[in-house]
Amino acid sequence: MNQEAAETRQRGKGAKIAKSAAAVVLSSCLVASLGLNIYQAVVPSRKTADFIDYMLDRIAEEEQKENEYVEDGFVVGGDYEIRSTAHISDAYKNGDDSRLSEEDRETLEMAKAVLDEVIEDGMDNYEKELAVYQWMVENLSGNSGDEGVISRPGRSQRAFTPHDVLTARDAVCVGYATTFRLFMNMLGMDVHIVHNEYHSWDLVELEDGQWYHVDVYSDVHGAMYGNFNMTDEVCRMGHNWDGSALPAADSVKYSPAVRNSVELDSLLDVPAQFKKDLDEGRYMAYYRFKTPLTDEEMRQADFMVSGIDSAMSAALEGWYYFRAYWFPGEGEDNILGLVVERDEEPDETSSAVDAGSPEGRAIIEAIAAAFELDPEMLGLFDNPEGPDADAPAEEIVGGAEAAAEVVTWNGGSAVLR
């Protein structure tokens, strides 16, 4: 009996142990199931969060690219790349050109020679900028007549690097912009090259936070100071660009209108003063008035400018391009600017071969023989004055249009004279 009771108690204890073990297993399964569900819920959320973070980073990168103004590497007009010259200006400031290529070393030497010529001790940034600008406008005017028909390295008007600009003394706009930037960087001034798809110019900082637009190319082919040290407002009268990532140019302290304007008593003093300026070779004139002009006087100024234009048409020889602007002054006043761009007569001293010379005749006869043409059709005429006046224009190579001289000027269209 006692043995049966002991066995019964042992079976009861075993059952409790089995139930406990089963409970533990069941609890573990429940915990595992719950953990799986939690994992399955958390993993997609984490993946979603990672994806959102990735997209936000991409958007931030794109926005940063949009806010970064691309200068070096940008191609203007589909052909002319804006190339960095920082290594050349750094070599000038450091006095070490050992790492420059042969062409860059030549560029540095040419640029250094210019600065040695125009920069004097004690000049401030504006005076240095003005000296370089004047040198470029006066010496890089091109139109020397000796570029020739056949392109030669360093002699082409398509030059767009400082090396070719300083060699050929002419270039496309990118060449002028990068050359001016090189000079300014060598002198310690910061510069941005502003551009759109077809044109480029400079934005230079003369004092802390005071930026000015300078378009040397346009002034080389137009009027001195016409596009020098412009504010954004003035520059947009003749240029367009995306300035969202560029510093604002809103100071007039160093603008030509403020620094060079002549004070007059009234509008009626403008004609005589302007004629005096023209006679003395000043084709960019600025006038401010002792008393700010009223709206009515501003309208009278429009009428006066039209009258001056008519007077110049009657009094001045040759072709010209005349325009007028109101420029902002240092206060609330406006400054009247009058600009004349003259079309200079062609240089009579040309390096072209005379068709009537022995050399010219030999060349034309060789061409005519090769193409089985009459030499007269190529411009070799027995009459030194040219073709027979009674000969039909169509018999001249080039047709009727070739019988007239086409003359163009900056800002205008072709005219015949």
We report the CATH number of the domain holding residue 310 as 3.40.50.150
The answer on 280 and 214 residing in a single domain is no
Determine the pLDDT at residue 176. Answer: 95
The answer on 167 and 277 residing in a single domain is no
pLDDT band at 386 (very low <50, low <70, confident <90, very high): very low
Report the pLDDT averaged over residues 17-42.
52
* Statement: residue 26 has pLDDT above 90: no
The answer on 391 and 292 residing in a single domain is no
Q: Which one has a higher pLDDT value, 170 or 406? A: 170
Report the pLDDT averaged over residues 289-310.
92
Tens digits of residue pLDDT in 230-282? 999 999 999 999 989 999 999 999 999 999 999 999 999 999 999 999 999 88
Q: Is the pTM here over 0.75, yes or no? A: no
End-of-domain residue from the set 228, 254, 280:
254
Rounded Cα distance between 301 and 109, Å, is 49
Q: Is residue 45 part of a domain?
A: no
* Statement: residue 388 has pLDDT above 90: no
End-of-domain residue from the set 204, 221, 254:
254
Sheet holding 210-214, edge to edge: 191-195, 200-207, 210-214
Q: Is residue 12 part of a domain?
A: no
CB atoms within 10 A of CB 51: 10
CATH of the domain at 140: 3.10.620
Q: Is residue 150 part of a domain?
A: yes
User: Range of 152's domain?
Assistant: 75-254
Q: What is the torsional sign of CA 31, 37, 42, 47? A: positive
Q: Is residue 161 part of a domain?
A: yes
End-of-domain residue from the set 343, 370, 404:
343
The answer on 86 and 128 residing in a single domain is yes
Tens digits of residue pLDDT in 353-381? 777 788 878 888 888 888 888 877 775 54
Determine the pLDDT at residue 401. Answer: 37
The answer on 171 and 142 residing in a single domain is yes
Q: Is residue 373 part of a domain?
A: yes
- The 10 Å CB-count burial string (b at 16+, else e) for 216-240 is bbbbbbbbbbbbbbbbbebbeebbe
Rounded Cα distance between 201 and 180, Å, is 9
Instruction: Name the DSSP class of 230.
Output: B
The answer on 122 and 102 residing in a single domain is yes
Q: Which of 127-131, 183-187, 240-244, 405-409 has the least mean pLDDT?
A: 405-409
The answer on 319 and 392 residing in a single domain is no
Report the pLDDT averaged over residues 385-399.
41
The answer on 236 and 100 residing in a single domain is yes
Q: Is residue 199 part of a domain?
A: yes
The answer on 402 and 371 residing in a single domain is yes
The answer on 299 and 222 residing in a single domain is no
Determine the pLDDT at residue 90. Answer: 97
Q: Which residues make Cβ contacts (< 8 Å) with residue 52, sequence separation at least 6? A: none
Determine the pLDDT at residue 109. Answer: 97
Q: Which one has a higher pLDDT value, 411 or 340? A: 340
The answer on 283 and 230 residing in a single domain is no
* Statement: residue 337 has pLDDT above 80: yes
**The pair of three-digit structure tokens given for residue 306, joined into one six-digit string:** 């039209």
Q: Which one has a higher pLDDT value, 282 or 41? A: 282
Determine the pLDDT at residue 201. Answer: 97
**The pair of three-digit structure tokens given for residue 121, joined into one six-digit string:** 């001790």
Look at the chain and report how many structural domains it folds into.
3
The answer on 370 and 329 residing in a single domain is no
Q: Is residue 353 part of a domain?
A: no
Q: Is residue 145 part of a domain?
A: yes
* Statement: residue 158 has pLDDT above 80: no
Q: Which residues make Cβ contacts (< 8 Å) with residue 184, sequence separation at least 6? A: 129, 132, 190, 191, 202, 204
